[in-house]
Chain A
């Protein structure tokens, strides 16, 4: 990641920085609206659970000799379904279950990865991403993921929002609660898997949560909040990648820090600009 020391005067021209920014912005476009539902549903921890599962997915993929992103997607969905099953059991609160799953999957993932002797890749890149190594093929994959995720979210928008407000009411009004929840989990799994290289397992949740929270400062409807979260997320990526290239900072954390700054600016706005 320490690549830019020499090029401080013209960092924006580099092609791979543009690619990095574009991939980050694309991820932010999908992460924002999905993240809105995480904060609305008070499930911020769910993002962590899924992204930590993704790390387990990476570990499993390496162990089985497959670098396919679909191994990650399948692992994430598998963990989501386990969560749904455990929730049905009812003994423990969702909060506790998420805590157990998030850290177990993280640990299992890290152990499996550590066991791979022939792995030369730095563990850090799985945790905080390595946006500057994004290639053309990654970019196409991410682009397709964004189209699918946003399309899917549009499809389940109304039922998911209804469930978020009151599950029983939604069900009585004829909404298929389980199907909607599973689809939502599937979309998050897709996002997390494809965003791995961009921002990593530890930080992807923040790209869902912080822009959404920042958007809340100025939004007046659910749709507005989703749209603003896309803008906040994209701005964070652009700011973060610039910070990273100007001052030789790791890109993932710089993006998160930028998102935090945007959130704080929103909080500091006079009340009349907020709802």
Chain B
């Protein structure tokens, strides 16, 4: 019984197809990473998975009684709202102050607990959002670009943390990677989305991959490269054309 199951999800906005026949599931203890170009519908499918958006067609099933931790991509908090990091975290329904402290320690943001949320760095904000998602002992974590805007060392640390949480709490994790090629090591399944699921599968280890070295220049733990292998490509309108035409516009993120 998966924690989350999406079956044949389709959605259009005023005639424009956003998602088409998308199916996947997330099980307990499993990390599923969504990758894909801008406008591929990653955030939209995530909203559908969370019940924030109704699909035109298809079925979303969340296991009964599970608690979900959600980390939105970004959050704009107006300056006129005086809100400290601690107050922001305490907003989660039914969490105790001691649990808030514990989670702040875990993601190492205790030093900004009393700072206004508008005055912390981008990297700290990502940790704060992560902390909010971790409150309330979630069975399923849904993370929208969790390491976006975080420096390399911070990325490594956050990924390490996500891996640790997966192991310790054995929750399922669904996340969007901000990068087309790099996904977290320990990811069990990568889903490459471009309105439909282009391909999915296990990521490869990247230690020796030349593209990885070219991109980062040095060895970093905790990140794995996912290499695409498509049996189709997209035309200018994003429609699927079977067969691999390298000289034409291939799956635009490849």
Contact = CB atoms under 8 A, between A and B. Distances in A.
Interface of A: 39-40, 42, 158-159, 161-162, 164-166, 168-169, 171-175, 213, 216, 219-222, 224-225, 275
B44 to A, nearest CB: 12
A225 B75 contact: no
A140 B69 CA distance: 46
Interface stretch (B77-85, B191-199, B208-216, B229-237): B77-85
B92 A173 contact: yes
Contact of B91 (A40, A165, A171): A165
A165 B50 contact: no
Nearest to B117: A165
A172 B87 contact: no
B82 A172 contact: no
Secondary structure at the B interface, as helix, strand, loop or mixed, is loop
A165 B70 contact: no
A172 B50 contact: yes
A174 B75 CA distance: 18
A165 B80 contact: no
Interface in B56-105: 68, 70, 72, 75, 77-78, 80-84, 87-88, 91-93
A216 B82 contact: yes
A221 B87 contact: yes
Given A165-B88, A171-B52, A172-B50, A158 B80 contact: no
Contact of A165 (B51, B68, B83, B136): B83
Given A173-B92, A173-B136, A221-B84, A40 B78 contact: yes
B91 A161 contact: yes
B93 A224 contact: no
A266 to B, nearest CB: 13
Contact of B50 (A161, A168, A221): A168
A164 B81 contact: yes
Contacts of B82: 216, 219-222, 224-225, 275
A164 B87 CA distance: 13
Contact of B78 (A42, A159, A224): A42
Contact of B81 (A168, A172, A175, A222): A222
Given A172-B68, A173-B136, A162 B52 contact: no
B144 to A, nearest CB: 10
A-B complex: 8 closest residue pairs judged by Cβ atoms: A172-B70, A40-B81, A162-B91, A219-B82, A168-B52, A172-B50, A39-B80, A216-B80
B91 A168 contact: no
Contact of A169 (B80, B116, B132): B132
B80 A166 contact: no
Interface in B126-149: 132, 136, 142
B153 to A, nearest CB: 27
Contacts of B116: 275
A161 B93 CA distance: 11
B65 to A, nearest CB: 12
A225 B84 CA distance: 13
Q: Which residue, of B78, B82, B87, B93, has the highest number of chain A Cβ atoms within 10 A?
A: B82
B228 interface: no
A208 to B, nearest CB: 13
Given A219-B82, A221-B82, A165 B77 contact: yes
